[in-house]
Amino acid sequence: MVSNVLAAVGAMTAARAAGLRVPHDLSIVAVHDVFFAAHLSPPLTVVRMPLRERGRRSVAAVLGQLASGPARHEVIRRPPPELLVRGSTAPPPG
44 found inside a domain = yes
Domain total in the chain = 1
Predicted confidence at residue 38, as pLDDT, reads 95
56 found inside a domain = yes
94 found inside a domain = no
Classify the C-alpha dihedral 63-67-70-73 as positive or negative. Answer: negative
72 found inside a domain = yes
Predicted confidence at residue 5, as pLDDT, reads 94
Distance between CA atoms of residues 32 and 48, nearest Å: 5
68 found inside a domain = yes
pLDDT digits (tens, 9 = 90+) for 17-60: 999 999 999 999 999 899 999 999 999 999 998 888 888 888 88
Start-to-end CA distance of the chain, whole Å, equals 21
Domain with 9, as residue range(s), is 5-84
- In this prediction the pTM is 0.77
